[in-house]
Structure 1
Amino acid sequence: MSTNKKRRLSRRQFLINTLAGSGAFMGAGMLYPMVRFAIDPILQKETQSSFVEVGAVEEFGKEPIAIQFFVEQKDGWYQKEGGTKMTAWVMKQDDGKFLALSPICKHLGCTVKWEGSPEFKDEFYCPCHGGRYTDTGINIPGTPPLAPLDKYKTEVKNGKLFLGSIVPQEGGA
């Protein structure tokens, strides 16, 4: 005598399976956007850092000059029309190369100024907490900044100076 009984699904088992399946489906629906948000930067293609023309090379000398320029920058899904306004301190060095420094202090993010203090000539000075940098952007020991000013990549083409992306400067006190 063989037992060919069909196994019947009880009402309780049906409800358990239905609730578990519905819960898993809703959980996956809630989890997908979070996972996508976390891995989306990895999936994005890197944009080529483009250079922006800032002026003729004759405009720049050994004295730092503050220049403002606009760059196309996408912030998440937002891209400002006309670009984002940036500033750089640009000067020509003794070896003929150009140095373009970011004006953002590495201590607390204030804006540094060339000869911003009457007592410290030929230095970049941060008025927020007395941060000081040499003319090449290296932080001076004993002042609040712990790193040198960042610098822009520079390129000269056809007598024009172009600035690229910001890179950290090596060295420092």
Structure 2
Amino acid sequence: MILDQVTDYITGKEIDNVGAEASRQLFEKFLVETKGYAKSDILVDVPLTVQFKGEDYPSVIDLIVNVEDRPLMAITCVAGSIGSYEREILAGARLVYDHIVPYAVSTDARDAIIKDACTGATTGQGLDAIPDHSQAQALLKKTEDTLLDPVKRSGEMIIYRSFNLEKINK
């Protein structure tokens, strides 16, 4: 089977055009050309390994947007209903680094749901609600790094693994 290939907008690498890749490419371009982020602000396929029943399950967060070298948004790009992926990316934002990435975003590049990753509250909906680079700088100035309660870590790993089975072990 020969897979269609596309050039990733951020990395310039040739990648398989499967699943939600078209959505991711559109959203990467939107972040740079509409919201004013530099390509260097956006990390692609950030590794995240969760443990479940003593086993490691490697996966990736589609995109992490950094502002002034601090993570601001963990993003999942999807081909289906964005609401179905809210809890997955919320768990991912809480697990991917030592501290919680402040915002978790689920998008299909036409719509988006933005959540406060510490509280789980929805802070915005729609592409207009995605902060541009200058808004992101202001947000980070009033955002302190927050650690995930260690008691909640294993539960978040179970949630992430449960919602993320199609990406795990690829």
Decide: shared fold, TM above 0.5. no
State the TM-score bracket (shorter-chain normalisation).
Answer: under 0.3
Q: Which has the higher helix share?
A: 2
Larger Rg computed on CA atoms: 1
Q: Using CA pairs under 8 Å that are at least 6 residues apart, name the structure with larger relative contact order, 1 or 2.
A: 2
TM-score by length of 2: 0.23
